[in-house]
Amino acid sequence: MNNIIEVSNLVKTFETGRGFLAKNKKIIQAVDDISFTIPKGESLGLVGQSGCGKTTTARALCLLDPKTSGSIKFYNNETKIMDNLDELKDEELKSFRRNTQMIFQDPYESLNPRWTIKDIILEPLNIHNLGTLSDRLEAVVEILKTVGLTPPENYLPRYPHELSGGQRQRVSIARALIMNPKFVICDEPTSMLDVSIRISIMDLMLDLAKELNVSYLYITHDLAVARYMCNRIAVMFNGKIVEIAKTEELLSNPTHPYTKRLISSIPVPDPSYTRVEYEVDFTELDQIIKSNNKNLPMVDIGDEHFVATHDVKDLLI
């Protein structure tokens, strides 16, 4: 088995309206039947605008919020088969939790302000009771060196508010990677950092991915960042994946109107470059997508490049 995670027909709906007697109960399809796989050691970028469902997908994948329907299968290192997350029992669930972690967007809110850095990074080891206390402390010191926070002794007793945004994000990365997980979900980890610091964090994550053979699900609204970090990119719009392909293939040969519109709206750091203009009406697009049969599979247009099919043939120019 080559994949670390396989998602099929994932759906997550929310209901609005309060209480039993609410009148206008609306059902919001935050994630509307999406499927994708991530091979071991590779990274998938999940790109889309705010509200498209990418964070909801991430939270469903790590069992933070329950999904409404669909299946998520995760590779079990012991048995060498894909386990369905719904059917995991205690030991297997623990193993899943050791192997799945998340790095968050906000460096200021993702660390408990009352805990020291040492306690923050120790927490996963404590929860899973791995090794003796001195083993754990050694692991903490090692991971601090790996993420570039040296000398480690300087950082262990500190509190988060004494560190900069970039340093805090490194602590988050250390906490996520200390148990050597196989799958890490990254929810826009660099968007709140200064521009000059982003690359060092992204390079760190890329190096660690190679070294530890970790797969990332990299969530971002910035296609340029997704290009830098990921082998494949999936584009989401209103809860659906509209296009998914290898990174360079997607950027050089975008097919879905939404992808084209997205690419055409990204500013380029070159004053002499003129962007290709591409306009599409989003409400129209959304209506067309929703009015179609949900069971239509994505169309394979070659080289592992899939596009969602709808009756938008006249827009597909």
Partner 1 sequence: MNKIDSEKEIQKQHRREIINKNISLFKSNKIGMTGLIIIILFGFLALLSPVLFLSGLWDQKTYHPVVGYDSIESSITVIECPKTYPTAKYESKELCPAENERELNIVKPFNPGVEVGDQLTVYLQPAPPSSKHILGTDSLGRDVFSQIMKGSQVAFLLGLLSAIVGVSISTFLGSIAAYWGGSVDAYLMRQSDLVLMLPSLPLLFIISAFAELQVWHLALVLGIIGGLGGSVITIKSQALQVKVKPFVDAARITGGSRMKILTSHILPNVAPLALLFMVFSVTGAIASESVLSFLGLINIDMSWGLMISVAQSDGYMNQGLEYWWLVIPAGLAVTLLAGGFYLVGRGLDDVFNPRLRKR
Partner 2 sequence: MKTILEVDNLNMHYETLEGNVVAVKNVSFTVAKGESFGLVGESGCGKSSVAAALLQLQAENAVITNGSILVNDTELVGMSEKSLRKIRWNTISIVFQGAMNSWNPVIKIGEQIREAIREHFPENSKSENLNKIYELFDIVGLQHTTIDRYPHELSGGMKQRAMIALALSCNPDMVIADEPTTALDVVIQDQILKEIKKIQKLLGLSLIYISHDIAVIAEMTDNMAVMYAGHIIEKGPTKLLFNNPQHSYTKLLLESTPSIVGSKIKLRALEGEPPSLINITDKCAFSPRCPEPSKDCKDGIISMKLIEKDQDHWVDQCCVNCG
Contacts to partner 2 by CB under 8 A = 49-50, 164, 166, 194-200, 203, 221-225, 227-228, 248, 251, 261-273, 282
Q: Are 214 and 184 in contact (CB under 8 A)?
A: yes
CB 263 → partner 2: shortest distance, Å? 7
134 binds, among partner 2, partner 1, none (CB under 5 to 8 A by kind): partner 1
User: CB-hemisphere CA count at 13 Å for 296?
Assistant: 17
Tell which residue, 181, 203, 46, has the closest CA to residue 125: 181
Considering only the stretches 21-29, 127-135, 220-228, 262-270, report the one whose residues sit in contact with partner 1 under the rule CB under 8 A.
127-135
Query: Partners of 219 in the beta sheet?
Result: 46, 187
* Nearer of residues 280 and 301 to partner 2, judged by Cβ: 280
128 binds, among partner 1, partner 2, none (CB under 5 to 8 A by kind): partner 1
Q: Is residue 127 near partner 1 by the rule CB under 8 A?
A: yes
The DSSP-derived string for 27-58 is EEEEEEEEEEEEETT-EEEEE--TTSSHHHHH
Q: Give Cα separations from 243 to 57, 231, 298 (angstroms).
A: 16, 14, 8
Terminal CA-CA length for the chain: 38
Q: Is residue 92 near partner 1 by the rule CB under 8 A?
A: no
261 binds, among partner 1, partner 2, none (CB under 5 to 8 A by kind): partner 2
- CA 48 from chain centre, in angstroms, equals 11
Give the number of residues written for the chain. 317
Please pick, from the candidates 28, 63, 192, 280, the single residue that binds partner 1 as defined by CB under 8 A: 63
Judged by the rule CB under 8 A, the positions of this chain that interact with partner 1 are 62-64, 93-94, 97-98, 100-102, 104-106, 109-116, 118, 120, 123-124, 127-128, 133-134, 137, 153, 156-159, 172, 175-176
